[in-house]
Amino acid sequence: MLVLYKKELNYYLNNPIGYIVIIIFSVFANFLFVKDIFLIGSASMRPLFTLLPWLFLIFIPALAMRIFAEEKRSNTIEVLLTLPISEAEIVLAKFFALLSLVILSLILMLALPISLGLFTKVYYPEIIIGFFGEILFAASVIGLSLFFSNKTKNQIIAFLTSTILTFFILVLSTEFLSTVLPKFIQDFLSYFTPLYHLQNFIKGVLDFRSVFYFVSLIFVLLFLTIVDLEKRD
Most confident of the ranges 6-15, 103-112, 160-169: 160-169
Higher pLDDT, 123 or 219: 219
Roughly what angle, to the nearest 10 degrees, separates helices 2-13 and 87-116?
Answer: 50
**CA trace torsion 218, 54, 44, 206 (10° rounding):** -20
* Residue 96 scores a pLDDT above 90: yes
Higher pLDDT, 218 or 195: 218
b/e map of 174-183 (b: 16 or more CB within 10 Å)?
A: eeebeeeeee
Q: How many structural domains does the chain have? A: 1
| 8 A C-beta contact, residue 74 and residue 65 | no
| pTM, entire model | 0.88
Higher pLDDT, 32 or 194: 194
pLDDT tens digit string along 55-94? 898 889 988 888 888 888 888 877 777 778 888 888 999 9
Q: Whole-number mean pLDDT of the chain?
A: 82
Domain extent, residue 22, equals 2-231
Taken as a whole, the chain contains a residue count of 233
What is the reported pLDDT for 124?
Answer: 74
* Residue 159 scores a pLDDT above 80: yes
**Rounded CA gap, 105 and 25, in Å?**
7
